[in-house]
Every structure is written in structure tokens, then in C-alpha cells.
Amino acid sequence: MYIGKMKKPNDLTVDVWARLLRLNKIALKRMEGKLKTEGLPALAWYDILLELERAGVAGLRPFELEDVTLLPQYGVSRIIERIEKAGFLQRLACDDDARGQSVFITDAGKILRQKMWIVYGAAIEEVIGENIGGADAANLSRVLKQLIEKQA
């Protein structure tokens, strides 16, 4: 139960929120569908492989993957297991923490991530790039960046 004064959003703010969620759902469904059609894994695999590739030789701890991918802990753990089983990443014990592990992308993982990007990038272009451009795209990017920075 909320105690105190609650500030209610106006109708336009609610519309913006609903449209962001709707676009997110539409875009993710389209991207997941395109990856599946090409026989590629789910988008969550791409996110993990991308962050591991960015991390380079340092790798990432599983909790760091949770932070950068916004996936829940249980989701990251399960996906890491599946990706490792498929040979696209490896887990190694941490030198400074006997109980901890670091996760690293394999060469096969880099190749898979690149294949996935071809499909994923084309889907981003189809959903966003072909439908908004120029000043509108720049303005939307600026506004979304502003909203993100105010929440950080």
C-alpha cells in the first residue's frame, strides 16, 4: 500500500509508456522470429555473447553479465549453461575467488555472434531504420537518452 501523495501521470505520459512497451514487444517478437527462421539461437544469447566479446580477455563474472544484459540471475545462469554446452563460451575459476567463475567467449562464439548480428541488425533496420529517419530519429534518440540518464 502506498502512503502519502502519489503523483499521477498525465494521459500523454501514459501513452508514451504504453507505446514504448508495445514497440518493444513488437520489435523483440520480430527479431526473435527472424533469428529462429535462420536457425539461430534466441536474442538473449546474442546479448551475452556481445558483452563477453566486448570484455575481451578479462571475461565477465556472471553477476556482471546480469548487470550489463538486464537479464535476471536465474536467466543468465541457465543461458550461460546452454551456451557453454553448445561450445560458444567457457567458464573458468577466478584466480582471486576460489568459488567464483569468469566467463569468456570462444572463437566459435564470436562467429555465432557475427552471424546473429547480420539477422539482428537487419531486423533493427526493418523495425526502426526504415520507419523513422533524419531529424525524427535524432530527436527520439536524444529524448530516450535523456530519459535513461535521468534514471541512472
- List, in order of start, the domains of the chain with CATH numbers: 26-127 (1.10.10.10)
Share of the chain above pLDDT 70, in %: 96
What value does the mean pLDDT of the chain take? 91
Bin 89: left if φ > 0, else alpha if -120 < ψ < 50, else beta: beta
C-alpha distance from residue 105 to each of 45, 60, 62, 88 (Å): 11, 10, 13, 6
Provide the pLDDT for residue 72: 79
Average pLDDT over residues 39-57: 96
- Look at residue 125 in the predicted model and tell me its pLDDT: 94
Global pTM value: 0.85
| CA–CA distance, 1 with 59 (Å, rounded to integer) | 43
The residue with cell 523495425 is 127
pLDDT band at 19 (very low <50, low <70, confident <90, very high): very high
Give the model's pLDDT for residue 4: 66
pLDDT at position 29 is 94
Query: Is 60 exceeded by the pLDDT of residue 1?
Result: no
At 8, which amino acid appears? K
Q: Which residue has the higher pLDDT, 18 or 133?
A: 18
